[in-house]
């Protein structure tokens, strides 16, 4: 081939490449963040306004239906006494530790069940069954076994989160296109190298989905456990704080407690798991670049 012909080909190719790849415009991070933030904020604002309106209509006495202001005051009182911070810290720490322990157990379990056929046949159905069993059902048993100690709480959290994480890993492994494994083999990846460079990265989206769900389950289980097993030895958690308010027939405190639980759940989801999942999906082009 002559030099001239080769240059022509290079130019032709460069032209095609330019035509066929879309030019993506980078939108600023702040703008993306703002676009994702204002609609829910607006909605929450509207909800609170509606709540105030209902309160103003005096449909129920205020000891049964508190106003937004009363709820806020109750929250501030708990803050001033230091109970709120202590409870939030305790619960988040328990939830976080429980989640990490679930991660350490659920991941290898998922790998084992997902990759070994005989184990899968035996354990698979039970694992997916466990996922649909509300882990709060374990609380009475846990109390009888472990008394009212941290063990009870972690036991319940583990039973809530481990199946989710393991199942996430399994479904991630199931979604790995067989083509990728064949490609890996052609490239010379076998055994451990294949797992590390092909199987695990390919399974990551499903696994991250499982982590997200696993966190939701551990947080839910934790609250159930805290609500049911309230004793001084256990120390104060958000669930216990909520139950305290119930005992005192303090409806504003109860609503404040529910909000606290909700807000923590949302915050961790938004700050940790949503960005993680978005990142994994975006890198693979499974997500539109802009919102």
Interaction between residue 31 and other proteins (CB under 8 A): no
Taking the complex as a whole, the smallest distance from the CB of residue 109 to other proteins amounts, in Å, to 23
Q: Which stretch binds other proteins (CB under 8 A): 54-62, 151-159, 213-221, 278-286?
A: 278-286
Interaction between residue 3 and other proteins (CB under 8 A): no
Backbone angles phi, psi at 248, to 5 degrees: -85, 5
Interaction between residue 9 and other proteins (CB under 8 A): yes
Interaction between residue 197 and other proteins (CB under 8 A): yes
Among 60, 141, 284, 291, binds other proteins (CB under 8 A): 284
Taking the complex as a whole, the smallest distance from the CB of residue 186 to other proteins amounts, in Å, to 5
Among 127, 159, 202, 208, binds other proteins (CB under 8 A): 202
Query: x/- contact string, 173-192, with other proteins (CB under 8 A)?
Result: ------xx-xx-xxxxx---
Taking the complex as a whole, the smallest distance from the CB of residue 194 to other proteins amounts, in Å, to 9
Q: Are 123 and 113 in contact (CB under 8 A)?
A: yes
Helical spans, DSSP H, in the chain: 3-20, 29-56, 68-80, 83-115, 117-132, 139-146, 150-174, 178-186, 191-194, 200-228, 238-247, 251-268, 274-283
**CB crowding 125-163: b at 16 or more within 10 Å, else e:** eebeebbeeebbebbeebbeebebeeebbbbbbbbbbbb
Q: Of 166, 102, 139, which is closest to residue 221 (Cα–Cα)?
A: 139
Q: Which residues bind other proteins (CB under 8 A)?
A: 1, 5-6, 9-10, 12-14, 16-17, 20-21, 24, 179-180, 182-183, 185-189, 193, 197-198, 201-202, 204, 283-286
């Amino acid at each position: 081939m002559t030099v001239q012909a080769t240059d022509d080909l290079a130019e032709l190719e460069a032209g095609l490449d330019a035509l066929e790849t879309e030019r993506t415009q980078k939108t600023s991070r702040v703008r993306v963040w703002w676009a994702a933030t204002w609609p829910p904020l607006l909605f929450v604002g509207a909800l609170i306004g509606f709540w105030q309106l209902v309160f103003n209509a005096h449909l129920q006495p205020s000891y049964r239906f508190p106003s937004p202001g009363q709820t806020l005051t109750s929250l501030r009182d708990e803050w001033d006494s230091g109970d709120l911070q202590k409870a939030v810290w305790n619960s988040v720490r328990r939830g976080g530790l429980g989640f990490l322990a679930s991660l350490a157990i659920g991941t290898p379990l998922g790998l084992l069940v997902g990759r070994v056929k005989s184990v899968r046949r035996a354990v698979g159905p039970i694992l997916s069954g466990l996922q649909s069993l509300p882990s709060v059902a374990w609380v009475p048993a846990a109390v009888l076994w472990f008394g009212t100690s941290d063990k009870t709480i972690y036991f319940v959290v583990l039973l809530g989160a481990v199946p989710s994480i393991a199942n996430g890993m399994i479904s991630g492994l199931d979604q790995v296109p067989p083509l990728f494994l064949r490609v890996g083999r052609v490239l010379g990846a076998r055994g451990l190298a294949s797992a590390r460079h092909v199987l695990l990265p390919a399974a990551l989206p499903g696994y991250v989905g499982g982590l997200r769900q696993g966190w939701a389950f551990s947080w839910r289980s934790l609250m159930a456990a805290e609500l049911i097993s309230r004793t001084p030895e256990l120390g104060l958690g958000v669930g216990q704080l909520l139950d305290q308010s119930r005992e005192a027939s303090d409806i504003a405190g109860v609503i404040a407690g529910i909000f606290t639980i909700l807000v923590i759940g949302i915050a961790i989801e938004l700050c940790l798991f949503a960005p993680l999942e978005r990142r994994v999906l975006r890198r693979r082009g499974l997500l539109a670049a802009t919102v």
